[in-house]
Amino acid sequence: MRADPDPPLLAPAGGGPGRRVAAAVLPYALRASLLVSPRPAALLVRHVFAKGGAATAERLQAHAPADVRSTVDERYGEEPDMLLDVHRPASPDEPLPLIVWVHGGAWVGGSKEEVAGWCRVLASHGYAVVAPRYGLAPEHRYPTAPRHVMAAIDHVVRAAGRLGVDADRIVVGGDSAGAQIAAQLGAIVTTPGYAGAVGVAPGIGPSQVRALVLACGPYDLGLASAIASPAGRLLVRAVLWAYSGKRRYADDRVFGLASVVHHVTRAFPPSLVTVGNADPLRPHSEALVERLGAVGADAEAVFFPDDHEPPLGHEYQFDLDGEAGQRFLQALIAFVRAHI
Residue 263 has φ and ψ, to the nearest 5°, of -135, 35
If you compute the radius of gyration of the chain from its CA atoms, what whole number of angstroms results? 19
What's the 3-state SS for the chain?
Answer: CCCCCCCCCCCCCCCCHHHHHHHHHHHHHHHHHCCCCCHHHHHHHHHHHHHHHHHHHHHHHCCCCCCEEEEEEEECCCCCCCEEEEEEECCCCCCEEEEEEECCCCCCCCCCHHHHHHHHHHHCCCCEEEEECCCCCCCCCCCHHHHHHHHHHHHHHHCHHHHCEEEEEEEEEEECHHHHHHHHHHHHHHCCCHHHHHCCCCCCCCCCEEEEEEECCCCCHHHHHHCCCHHHHHHHHHHHHHHHCCCCHHHCHHHHCCCHHHCCCCCCCCEEEECCCCCCCHHHHHHHHHHHHHHCCCEEEECCCCCCCCCCCCCHHHCCCCHHHHHHHHHHHHHHHHHC
Could you give the CA distance from residue 325 to residue 1 in angstroms, rounded to a whole number? 9
Dihedral sign for Cα atoms in the order 182, 186, 187, 193: positive
Residue 281 has φ and ψ, to the nearest 5°, of -90, 5
Could you give the CA distance from residue 203 to residue 190 in angstroms, rounded to a whole number? 12
Query: What residue ranges define each of the domains in the chain, with the CATH number in brackets?
Result: 17-219+228-339 (3.40.50.1820)
What is the separation of C-alpha 28 from the centre of its chain, rounded to a whole number of angstroms?
28
C-beta of residue 183 within 8 angstroms of C-beta of residue 217: yes
Dihedral, CA of residue 142, residue 253, residue 218 and residue 56, to nearest 10 = 10
Q: Going edge to edge, which strands form the sheet with 271-274? A: 68-75, 83-89, 128-132, 96-102, 165-175, 209-215, 271-274, 299-302
Could you give the CA distance from residue 66 to residue 69 in angstroms, rounded to a whole number? 8
Question: What pTM did the predictor assign?
Answer: 0.92
Q: What is the pLDDT of residue 33?
A: 65
pLDDT tens-digit profile, the chain (340 residues): 333 334 443 333 334 444 454 555 566 666 766 667 888 888 888 988 898 999 999 999 999 999 999 999 999 999 999 999 999 998 877 899 999 999 999 999 999 999 999 999 999 999 999 999 999 999 999 999 999 999 999 999 999 999 999 999 999 999 999 999 999 999 999 999 999 999 999 999 999 999 999 999 999 998 887 776 777 788 888 899 999 999 999 999 999 999 999 999 999 999 999 999 999 999 999 999 999 999 999 999 999 999 999 999 999 999 999 999 999 999 999 999 999 9
Q: What is the pLDDT of residue 40?
A: 87
Closest to 329 (Cα-Cα) out of 111, 139, 119: 119
